[in-house]
Amino acid sequence: MSIIDPAIAVQRLPRHIAIVMDGNGRWAEARHRPRSFGHHEGVKAVRATVEACIRRHVPTLTLFAFSSENWKRPQEEVGTLMELFMKAIDREVDELVANGVALRFVGDRSAFAPALRERMDHSECKRPAQTRLNLNIAANYGGRWDIVQAARCIAAGVARGDIDADTIDESLFDAHVSLADLPPLDLFIRTGGEHRVSNFLLWQLAYAELWFSDVLWPDFDAAALDAALADYARRERRYGRTGQQLRHPA
């Protein structure tokens, strides 16, 4: 049974959830299996989370699949992950699109093999007839990279004469970071028990609500998501104001 009341949830649902899907390795190690087994099982949790977001009418989900720092892992593990991404794209994209999922990859894809880049480009071109969920996969993504690419883009605009340097402000910068066209990030979830951001959406996190779960990613499911949603629904987002101001607007 669901732990959140759907009637309340509708107005108090996050419009954009981002998840650091952490804990695959430890999940596998606890079962005396190779880390790659945990990554494979993690794909099932992705499927369950996507389905749960669609059912809950959460319109935007951003998943951290591979950080700009994950290249430092043993070559074998990086290879397994790349293969897994390719297979997951081949196997899942058509069904995702048929179910109303609009897919996008965020991050520096120039580091990926051409075969993977092609799959990414190709799957982004497949648009659902009616979008029920914007699903963003962060791959070779780093929050600092994102800020730097926005700065470079703005600098190029200034050099071309399209942007007046005096007009650079937070809202212009905001328009140049990844996912600028989607709803602002409302809820940041990290599984796996670590309480850190690990260079995920640094700029976009400014006013996101944070939820940390000890659940290891392969065990994450609709019930675990509901626990985060229920907690989010109870929070008062003050953005610098007082609670009084929010409850009794002038």
Residues tagged active-site: 22, 70
For residue 120, give the nearest of 100, 140, 99 by alpha carbon: 140
DSSP H or E segment with residue 184: none
Single residue of 14, 24, 40, 62 touching ligand IPE by CB under 6 A: 24
Residue 41 lies near ligand IPE (rule: CB under 6 A):
no
Could you give the CA distance from residue 143 to residue 141 in angstroms, rounded to a whole number? 7
Q: Is 25 in the site for ligand IPE (CB under 6 A)?
A: yes
Instruction: Pick the closer one to Mg ion by CB: 22 or 146.
Output: 22
Restricting to residues 8-27, which ones interact with Mg ion according to CB under 5 A?
22
> What residue spans of 106-242 are helical by DSSP H?
114-125, 143-160, 170-174, 222-233
For Mg ion, the binding residues in 80-99 under the rule CB under 5 A are: none
End-to-end Cα separation, the chain, in angstroms: 40
Residue 174: other Cβ atoms inside 10 A: 14
Q: Note the helical H segments in 70-220.
A: 75-98, 114-125, 143-160, 170-174
Of the pair 100, 193, the CB lying nearest Mg ion is at 193
Residues 81-140 that bind ligand IPE (CB under 6 A): 81
Distance in angstroms (rounded) separating the CA atoms of residues 16 and 18: 7
73 vs 126, beta carbon nearer Mg ion: 73
Judged by CB under 5 A, the number of residues near Mg ion is 1
Q: Does the CA dihedral 128-133-137-138 come out positive or negative?
A: positive
Among 31, 91, 127, 196, binds ligand IPE (CB under 6 A): 196
**Of the residues 34, 48, 51, 70, which one makes contact with ligand IPE according to CB under 6 A:** 70
What is the footprint of Mg ion within residues 22-51 (CB under 5 A)?
22
* Residues binding ligand IPE (CB under 6 A): 20-26, 64-67, 70, 81, 192, 194, 196, 198, 217
* Residues binding Mg ion (CB under 5 A): 22
